[in-house]
Homo-oligomer: A and B are copies of this chain.
Amino acid sequence: MANIYDNAYALEKAIRESDEFQGLQQAYDAVMNDEQAKQMFDNFRNTQVELQQKQMQGEEISEEEVEQARKVVETVQQHEQISKLMEEEQRLNQVINDVSRIITKPLEELYGTDQEGQQ
């Protein structure tokens, strides 16, 4: 039991000290310390969250909203610091997804075996 938590804290430390996390932090700070970039990025995130919420709640998304979202994405993709931040986010996300797959493997094996045998 303690062993799980010890290992989880060691992993947290490894993530925090990784090139991926450090790179993300730098890219994030660069955007946050540039008022114009920050506003652009906040606007992008807000637009994304809004559309996701509508989608999840089954609300209709108008053509105008889709077009508006497309423009926002285009704008941030052309911004060097913001696209760097988005790259770094994807890079760390990949690592976190890998980690998640690794540590849930025992559970997957336990339930997966049964599903196979269930037929």
Contacts and interface: CB of A to CB of B under 8 A. Distances in A.
B7 A11 contact: yes
Interface of A: 1, 3-12, 14-21, 24-25, 28, 32, 42, 58, 92, 95-96, 98-99, 102-107, 110, 114, 117-118
B11 A15 contact: no
Contacts of A21: 106-107
12 contacts: A5-B98, A8-B99, A8-B102, A11-B11, A11-B102, A11-B103, A12-B106, A21-B107, A25-B110, A32-B114, A32-B117, A96-B107
A104 B96 contact: yes
A4 B14 contact: yes
A10 B103 CA distance: 9
A3 to B, nearest CB: 5
B9 A3 contact: no
A39 to B, nearest CB: 10
Contacts of A92: 107
B8 A103 contact: yes
A101 to B, nearest CB: 9
A19 B1 contact: yes
